[in-house]
């Protein structure tokens, strides 16, 4: 785990607080990290199984594009309801319920043998995973001061790449020896076990036995919303005025659209990437499995570097906007280098281009820090839901778009498309977001 700073701007030093601050927030961060690993395994396990699954079931490229995109249909559609739910139900209850249900749907994928069944269950996984990242954002905003938050977000976000880097070869090995069905059964079973662990260990800051008053004061004085749970109104109805409040700000649309373009690169790697290596670049399953881990490792380095760099800039006195946006914009520009894969032939150079691009994607992935800094306090979950809704329209459009752009053995138009979306994302964050400060609601 990266070392996070222990003091906050304008707050007394840790030694000035009543006692030495405890470090319970780092246990919470570890819980988030493991949850993200499991979350992304259940998103991407289909991409691992796809080449063999398609061969066994006689599924064509366009049909596979539909199956790969099915997760995104409901995942995107349920973001706003999911974000609204995050504002009403505590993470200790909502998160394990969601994890358990999507894990059951994941296990079910191992027992279906037709196109319709695959699509239905992937729709279920997408709908049930929808609250996950708004919950992550709600938890880190509650448990971390602003000065530590980008590093915290970078650390738990890195879980999606660490898990894929180290576990994708394991899943491919599992598929080779036990069949593609077991890829879904094993990943789903892990999720069921983790739902129990989360419920047993997670608490709000003031309810956590491991968090002493000094740590709670450190978080609160640094902008952490330690009392957010007391503001939950479980019986309040949905209000259209709340939705308008998160839709009528240009700076929020800058992060919404920027996230869509950022996610376009991510969803190429989560869906078509193994098929690209095996079918269009002629690599065998085992070789592709190990080479596929390298871009994910590069993305992990990008994510961790991004959070640490952003918080370092804050501590050095840079504005919050510059500290948060600089890694994001730089990363998106680097990510456009994926187009270089169209002009090289050797496996080493192909993987080098893809690794550099995914490093950039990782470097840009602290976008949730902007949601945390910009969202109206009362509408943190709803803002996160809208952000994830627009961003994850990429999970719907990218797999299908690639399926249509691929012509015969030519994957180059699809790679070019991904490069262009990265450039558009940099423009959104550069010109639409503006000054980074929390949006205040007016009575």
437 vs 320: CA distance, rounded Å = 8
| Residue of 73, 72, 86 whose CA lies nearest to 131 | 86
Q: Tokens 């939705």 belong to which residue?
A: 243
CA 239 to chain CA centroid, nearest Å = 27
- Whether the Cβ atoms of residue 413 and residue 341 lie closer than 8 Å to each other: no
Identify the three-state secondary structure at position 410: strand
What are the structure tokens assigned to 327, written together?
């890694």
Cα separation of 379 and 86, whole Å? 10
Alpha carbons 391 and 163: distance in angstroms, whole number: 22
d(CA 331, CA 325): 10
Pseudo-torsion of CA 261, 263, 277, 343, nearest 10°? 20
User: What CATH fold (topology level) applies to the domain 21-230+242-431?
Assistant: Growth Hormone; Chain: A; (1.20.1250)
Dist. CA 205–CA 219, nearest whole Å: 9
Q: What is the pLDDT of residue 236?
A: 55
Return averaged pLDDT per consecutive 10 residues of the chain, 443 residues in all: 43 49 86 91 80 77 78 83 81 92 92 84 91 87 81 81 74 80 89 94 85 81 69 59 78 90 88 79 63 81 84 81 88 94 87 92 84 74 81 84 83 92 92 77 56
Contact 382, 441 (CB under 8 A): no
Q: How far apart are CA 416 and CA 357, in angstroms?
A: 12
pLDDT of res. 32: 93
Q: How far apart are CA 102 and CA 217, in angstroms?
A: 36
**Residue with token string 């490069």:** 419
Domain boundaries in the chain? 21-230+242-431
Measured in residues, the chain has a length of: 443
Task: Transcribe 117-184 into DSSP letters.
Answer: HHHHHHHHHHHHHTTHHHHHHHHHHHHS-HHHHHHHHHHHHHHHHHHHHHHHHHHHHHHHHH-HHHHH
Q: For residues 75 and 180, give the distance between their C-alpha atoms in angstroms, rounded to a whole number.
A: 24
- Do 306 and 362 touch, CB atoms closer than 8 A? yes
């Amino acid at each position: 785990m990266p070392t996070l700073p222990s003091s906050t701007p304008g707050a007394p030093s840790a030694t000035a607080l009543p006692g030495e601050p405890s470090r319970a927030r780092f246990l919470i961060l570890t819980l988030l990290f493991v949850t993200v690993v499991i979350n992304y395994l259940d998103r991407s396990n289909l991409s691992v199984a796809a080449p063999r699954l398609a061969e066994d079931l006689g599924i064509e490229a366009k049909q596979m594009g539909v199956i790969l995109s099915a997760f995104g249909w409901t995942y995107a559609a349920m973001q706003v309801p999911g974000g609204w739910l995050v504002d009403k139900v505590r993470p200790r209850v909502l998160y394990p319920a969601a994890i358990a249900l999507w894990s059951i749907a994941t296990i079910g994928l191992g027992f279906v043998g037709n196109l319709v069944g695959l699509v239905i269950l992937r729709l279920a996984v997408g709908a049930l995973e929808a609250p996950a990242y708004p919950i992550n954002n709600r938890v880190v905003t509650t448990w971390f001061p602003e000065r530590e938050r980008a590093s915290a977000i970078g650390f738990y976000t890195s879980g999606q790449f660490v898990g894929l880097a180290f576990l994708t070869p394991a899943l491919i090995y599992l598929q080779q020896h036990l069949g593609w069905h077991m890829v879904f059964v094993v990943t789903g079973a892990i999720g069921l076990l983790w739902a129990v662990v989360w419920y047993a260990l997670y608490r709000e800051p003031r309810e956590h036995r491991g968090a002493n008053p000094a740590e709670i004061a450190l978080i609160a004085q640094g902008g952490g919303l330690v009392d957010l749970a007391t503001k939950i109104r479980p019986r309040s109805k949905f209000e259209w005025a709340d939705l308008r409040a998160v839709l009528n700000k240009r700076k929020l649309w800058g992060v919404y659209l920027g996230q869509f373009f950022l996610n376009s690169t991510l969803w190429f790697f989560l869906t078509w990437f193994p098929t690209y290596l095996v079918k269009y670049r002629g690599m065998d399953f085992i070789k592709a499995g190990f080479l596929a881990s390298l871009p994910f490792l590069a993305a992990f380095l990008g994510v961790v570097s991004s959070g640490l760099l952003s918080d370092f800039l804050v501590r050095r006195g840079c504005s919050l906007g510059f500290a948060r946006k600089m890694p994001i914009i730089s990363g998106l520009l680097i990510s456009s280098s994926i187009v270089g894969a169209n002009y090289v032939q050797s496996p080493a150079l192909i993987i080098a281009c893809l690794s550099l691009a995914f490093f950039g994607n990782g470097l840009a992935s602290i976008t949730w820090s902007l949601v945390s800094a910009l969202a109206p306090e009362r509408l943190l979950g709803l803002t996160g839901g809208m952000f994830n809704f627009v961003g994850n329209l990429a999970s719907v459009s990218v797999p299908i778009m690639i399926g249509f752009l691929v012509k015969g053995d030519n994957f180059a138009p699809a790679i070019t498309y991904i490069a262009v979306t990265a450039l558009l994302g940099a423009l959104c964050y550069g010109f639409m977001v503006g000054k980074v400060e929390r949006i205040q609601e007016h009575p």
